[in-house]
Structure 1
């Protein structure tokens, strides 16, 4: 058994293309098996993405810095990383930590940012239909209660309904639906 300060942890973060997750998962199994054959390997943990993130975090533990370095510089790892590149949105991020500090300092995942033109298109495609449907749906109420037709009051009611629908109903579902394209 090793003293905790002797452990070395390699934390790898991969941003995976949403359409490539199945292939990446296959690759992940293969590289985890390859890593286990290296001297000093103590285990691997994989933290899969949740929500809209695309980040996989792979935590590898070795018994010494020398054994970890041997794995990092190995031809096996380099060859497998070449195979993974088409599945990734960006180059891998790695961090080496000693002892047990990783478990007390969780990795910071960068939030995904959509390109402004994609945000514009998604927002426009969600708001425009609402600007047509909501006023049309309110016409019976305006006929029944004429003060609802006053321009300022009517615009305020329409805006309130559209904003509420966008925040609570439309955008949470719509963003999940188009996430693969939006965050690519």
Structure 2
């Protein structure tokens, strides 16, 4: 595959329904597999969205810099060995999806599932971007006054905002606000 046509990163979205009495064992399994993934080239991070409101569904988001590097991880013997332990912990089959870039923020796991209304996506994204773009430049100009008005300072601000949005704010807020984004029927 020609890497020039790939997204800036890819996200492996894994959804596991874990047996209620096996959640502690599943957490221990996560503690084993996450460091394994981090050892592979191109690994950009992992987010684990844990169950809330008495549910049993875990969503694991694993980011790699390219589809090729993700493929090397998914086909590795280390991962295959750890994944072989999963069936005894899960209440059903796992769901796996590969999504380019940050497309997972508002994309439901199930193909037939409802998506949040666009106005809600807009408000949540604006609610994250607006304060970030106000506060991060203040932070960096205080810590590094020489960065004010420079190209590298602008880059530092943008890189920090994007990193916070992609790896912290959106995964956290979409999980916390999931009942607002897509109300239960």
Q: Distance in 2 between matches of 1:78 and 1:94?
A: 14
Match of 2:27, SS state, is helix
Superposed CA RMSD in Å reads 2.5
1:40/1:62 contact within 8 Å kept: yes
Question: What is the correspondence of 1:163-182 to structure 2 with a 5 Å cutoff?
Answer: none
**Number of residue pairs matched by the alignment:** 110
Match of residue 95 from structure 2? 93
1:12/1:94 contact within 8 Å kept: yes
Question: What is the correspondence of 1:48-67 to structure 2 with a 5 Å cutoff?
Answer: 48-67=50-69
Q: Say which of 8, 14, 38 aligns to 2:40.
A: 38
Q: Distance in 2 between matches of 1:110 and 1:35?
A: 30
Question: What CA deviation, in whole Å up to 9, does each residue of 1:82-121 have, x standing for no partner?
Answer: 112211111211000001111232545999xxxxxxxxxx
Match of residue 78 from structure 2? 76
Q: Normalization by structure 2: what TM-score? A: 0.55
Question: What CA deviation, in whole Å up to 9, does each residue of 1:36-67 have, x standing for no partner?
Answer: 00110000000001113211000000000000
Hey, which of these two has a bigger chunk of helix by percent? 1
Change in CA separation of 1:33 and 1:110 when aligned onto 2, cut-off 3 Å: farther
Match of residue 15 from structure 1? 17
Q: Which runs of 4+ in 1 moved over 6 A?
A: none
Q: Say which of 32, 47, 52 aligns to 2:49.
A: 47
Q: Distance in 2 between matches of 1:46 and 1:28?
A: 9
User: Which deviates further from its counterpart, 41-50 or 78-87?
Assistant: 78-87
Q: Please list every run of 5 or more consecutive structure 1 residues that lacks an aligned counterpart in the other structure.
A: 112-184
Q: Please list every run of 5 or more consecutive structure 2 residues that lacks an aligned counterpart in the other structure.
A: 1-5, 114-185
| Structure whose alpha-carbon radius of gyration is higher | 1
Change in CA separation of 1:65 and 1:109 when aligned onto 2, cut-off 3 Å: closer
